[in-house]
Amino acid sequence: MRHFDHIDTALRKHLFFRHPRGFDRHDDPAVLAVALGATLYSPATRPDLAGDIAKAARRGVTSLVVCLEDAIADAELTAAEANAVAQLRLLHARGGPAPLLFVRVRAAGQIGDLVDRLGDAAALLSGFVLPKFTAASGGPFLDAIAAAAERTGLRLYAMPVIESREAVYAETRAALLGEVAALLDKHRERVLAVRLGATDLSAAYGLRRPPDLTIYDIGPVAGAISDVVNVLGRADGSGFVVTGPVWEYFSAGERIFKPQLRQTPFEAQHAAPLRQRIIGTDLDGLIREVHLDKANGLTGKTVIHPTHVSAVHALSVVTHEEYSDACDILDVAGGGAMASAYANKMNEAKPHRAWAERLMLRARVFGVAAEDVTFVELLEAAGSR
């Protein structure tokens, strides 16, 4: 797999100063965690799930979750499991490209059962998404993944989801996150990334963000996200990649606030129709939220519609200016400060080093934009078919 491989080769040469590098499910987990990008969730009840997964891969999706949890009604669970198994076996038999695949389960017992029922097709799996994760509930999930991996020889990862009420309530949050951090540290080689369940966190207060606001405008949830990054996303070697929460809108309703995209960048690229399409499908809210995700230490995002993928991936490309700053910072061994090559900021070698190292990992996976290439061009190209 390689990000932006669905784009014409000549166009990629124009867009990138450094091209994205390829990866596969056997790569370094630090690379895979960043390479997840926009993780597309799909209900396990989809009648042509195998075809949907193959189509998603052709459209630039590099990670996908087959959901057996909240997306599935309780009465449909048995049928959903059977459909997921049948469709993944069909996908395996057909061969061809597939994204990094995960299954979101409800109970620990499903993990070994699904791996056994998949047989050889279990080789398609990169792991499991673990819902409502706490220190109390998480142990059996992690043990079940370890047992399935040992029994089959497969490399299976866990992606726990922080979304329980204890994680959002102020009086229980600190203790829960401390306990989760200790548990995940014991299983560090098995944990690919930590995910955030913003829908469940909002539900604890009967809230749902509208499409013209971001999750960071929802105070109780924004506070929980901040604390999750504080405890689980540290850059001192004790943390994990924490992914951005789901964006759940894909069609326009009545707008209260004006669009969140400035006209000037689109006019400069003669891309006014693209701006209108973004606004018409509420993707301007998604774009703003991804910017805030990155600023708050989150990497990648959960999405529920293929049209969201191109926006997340275009915003994941490292700009030429960011890359220039990171190179300058990493080239200095003993500390000190220097003016940016773009002459618009001060780079400090010691405090900015962790940022530069993380950015270089993103540059490896998503590439570095050419000096004169903007997000607008990347988005237009990434959304092309």
> Binding-site residues for Mg(2+), please?
200
Between CA 298 and CA 225 the distance in angstroms is 9
Between CA 176 and CA 193 the distance in angstroms is 18
Spatial contact of 217 and 209, defined as CB atoms under 8 Å apart: yes
DSSP character at residue 359? H
Between CA 225 and CA 235 the distance in angstroms is 16
Query: Which residue from 326, 151, 344, 162 is spatially nearest to 244, judged by alpha carbons?
Result: 162
Spatial contact of 86 and 50, defined as CB atoms under 8 Å apart: no
Residue type, 155: R
Show binding-site residues. Answer: 200
Between CA 197 and CA 200 the distance in angstroms is 6
Q: How many CA atoms lie within 13 A of 351 on its CB side?
A: 6
317 token code pair? 């490309």
Between CA 218 and CA 228 the distance in angstroms is 15
For 88, counting Cβ atoms within 10 Å of its Cβ (0-12 exposed, 13-18 middle, 19+ buried), the class is buried
Report, in angstroms and rounded to the nearest whole number, the Rg of the chain calculated over CA atoms: 21
Q: How far is CA 330 from the centre of its chain?
A: 26
Spatial contact of 64 and 35, defined as CB atoms under 8 Å apart: no
Between CA 105 and CA 119 the distance in angstroms is 18
Helix locations, the chain, DSSP H: 9-15, 29-35, 49-58, 77-94, 109-118, 135-152, 165-168, 170-186, 198-203, 219-232, 264-268, 272-280, 283-295, 309-316, 320-330, 353-366, 375-382
